[in-house]
Structure 1
Amino acid sequence: LIGGIVFVGIVIASIFLFKFTPTSFIPPEDQGYVITAVMLPDGATISRTSKTTEAVRSAIATDPASTFQFAVNGYDLIGGGNKSNAATMFVRLKDWAERKSSAGDIVKKLFGIGMMQPDGLAIAFNPPSIRGLGSSGSMEVYIQSRSDTNPLHLFAAVNLFMEALKKEPRLTGINTFFRPTVPQLFIEVDESKAISLGIPISSIYDTLQSTMGSLYVNDFNKSGRTYRVQL
């Protein structure tokens, strides 16, 4: 009789675990903060981006679970690099014992706030459970053109690939930040004048790269891990 009761208890416990335990490969965790990416139309100025970011920040600041918000205007965490039409915001949450809302609840609320912005939108997500698994803990795909240098042709291939992905019901939030229609500026460096002034040509291009995008500096090791330094 006792053995039968124990067996039934094990079966019930197994059913409970299968039902409520996250089944993804690396389930998301409530780490006490969430990340928000603010996006405006291509070519939007940093002042417009700052205004939208502040609207999102002030809205989530009223939530009792939120304790601190930190925004970086002009930085695109998902796509990478500095962009005038993008911003990244970190929302710090109160200790788990001091709030009723989970990080997932705050993410959903931020999505609603982001969709109501008249000049852009904002999406929110949990940070990856393990460092190194992308910026949002989801799957990232890179498409490379090895023969055709026309960005419009690559953009068409990316759209076809995305349409195929959207047919998969297990995938959500499919998006790309590659848009060849973004307004661009062409900068021509007067190398002869730079040389006459004693300015190294490489330092000019490194400065432009670190200002307009990102510049790899070096790697360093700490606590058994390798970290990359980028400007």
Structure 2
Amino acid sequence: MLRYRMLLFKMSRLASKNKLSGVEEISLAGQFSEMIGSQEEADRLIEDLVDHENPQVRRIGLSAIRRSRRFGGRMLMPALLRRLADVEGWLRHDAVWIVQEGQFDGAELRAALRRVAGNVRLPQDAVRAKANPADGPLHAAVRARQALDVLIKKSAEAHNAALAAGGGLPGATDGQPYAQGSVGHIRAVHRQLQRKMAGRKLNSSTKLRFKKVESQYPPNDNRRFLL
């Protein structure tokens, strides 16, 4: 604990004097990561560094967490979401890096990755990023796009596997001459799944009821058409 406090003091002094070089960042991140022996210590480092006002200190915190591979704490995901919205491109890049190595997923996380990726296109922007190693925002966008593509592919594979297995829908291929796992079988299951989803939407939709309006005029009176 004393060593941790001394290292915090050293880092804060360098940051206040604007003397934190890239080499110092790497060195401090390595030293902090070596001190993380439990998830509690990782959470303390996240609290002390990852939301610090100095962007270099924030990056040291992210690098230390990534090196320690302590990805299971309750504080990490909210901190990553905040850093994915950071104004500094390299901090967004490092946050995406942790997302990749920690294999995180979730709707809120995917939305944040989409915002970071923006309109980046692969592979042409990846080539452009390689030619511009100092462009932090571009590197962050490329890495976010790569991470998002992996998550989307994972979801698609899980969906296709569920369809191939029948999707848990009895009668999906009743009377169909399709072998298990064939294209015809998968499409039949998919159609059955679509029918089931459509039925749920129909049952949950608003049902309109119409009331017949009786005319107050005789059948041969043209005023009845005014209703």
TM-score under structure 2 length normalisation: 0.28
Larger Rg: 2
TM-score by length of 1: 0.28
Q: Which has the higher strand share?
A: 1
Higher-RCO chain (CA-CA 8 Å, sequence separation at least 6): 1
